[in-house]
Structure 1
Amino acid sequence: MATYVLVPGADGRAWYWHRVVPELQARGHQVVAVDLPQDDSVGLAEYADAVVRAVGGRSDGLVLVAQSLAGFTAPLVCERLTVDGLVLVNAMVPVFGESAGQWWANTGQAAARSAKAVRDGRGPDPEFDLRVDFFHDVPPEVTEQALAQELGSPSATLFAQPWPLRGWPAVPTRFLQGRDDRFFPVEFQRRIVQERLGITLEETTGGHLSALGHPAELAEAICRPPVGGGRSPVAGH
């Protein structure tokens, strides 16, 4: 039995994971879904503090699951807690000294998103639309529930801070990527994950918000034993 610590992306609310939590619990696991600070003055350290507080005194079988922007936060938590594994989901993978604000241009995300839109028949450089980019494969009732709430937003301070780790933590790391993600296309992520972590991503069902759109499939992928028992990122990454 594992204790899965679910860290949301830019929205920052534990609610994002509400459809995955019962799926993991039904598989016999404990689950901690984290709420992140909604405060423009806080940065990476405070986000990591929030995860550590949510974990509390739990220490056995901890596995961090990090969605999207949480790829910047979860590795910092690995420096502070004994973690058995890290599962990145449609995540941003940073390198030393890079801020979340710089990541987009450094990785070529805009060009990758545009190319994906062309392949899908939506034309180049479409204007960002929450429903089209994020909620295209989420059930309508879940979409309306999400958009009826006050959406969270990431800290502006976090986006400006350089990522402080000189290397990826020595923790077995997996990367799950939705094959229908329109925001971070799978071909783009395959390149970034190989270049920055030296591991191979695992394709999963769904788009960028797979926890809302395909919770059972995502839970199954999270729990699935990795090939070879999991791999730590290669030295130098």
Structure 2
Amino acid sequence: MRKKVVLSWSGGKDSCLALDVLIKQGYEVACLLTTVPQEIGRTFGHGEKTDLIKLQAISLSIPAEFIYCTFEDYSERFVSDLRKIIDKYGVTGIAYGDLYLDGHREWGEKTAEEAGLEAVYPLWMEEKDSLKALGAFVESGYKAKVIRVRENVLDDSWLGKELDHDFLSKIEAEPVCPMGESGEYHTLVYDGPLFSQPIQLGSPEIIQLETTNKLEFGEYRLAAK
């Protein structure tokens, strides 16, 4: 019997790579789990509209589940909603797309344990391998755009860039983690091998969210493959 897990989902390259690896390893991903702080009404990690997460879920044919929480009760609500996910989908584990930050893994493992689940880290690596990981994404067939940058690290010229070989060579020259593991940049995956339909993105504009700049799409829909 295949192991059934819920995948912590941001909509970006890391969670997409995690999904790809999990499926290739024989896991069944029962649903995609995204946190939405009530204070901002957008996804926690990337500040993305939940409608775009829903489009990804439709194209991937995997249900999307949202945890609506506040910054203060984030961990508590995460655990309580995970228990509901267990009842609804019968999962035995939760998978995360974290790469190498020990603090993130400690939180994920503690949260999983409290909910009675196994914590799975399909992408876990050493920091020195992050450039190789970005290269693997570029070669994977998935398509993603940079949709958010920390303004004190990368300027607005990075917004909208495709994660391709040109991006790979340019980000390597910057004093940042090539995979943006510390939040230097965030991405949105809009097509790839597991997508039945690409997400067509239009009418972009730059908005400010806290200490970051965000590429906001005014139009988005599923298109023909």
TM-score (ref. length: structure 1)? 0.28
Which is richer in helix? 1
Which is richer in strand? 2
TM-score (ref. length: structure 2)? 0.29
Query: Whose RCO is larger (CA < 8 A, sep 6+)?
Result: 1
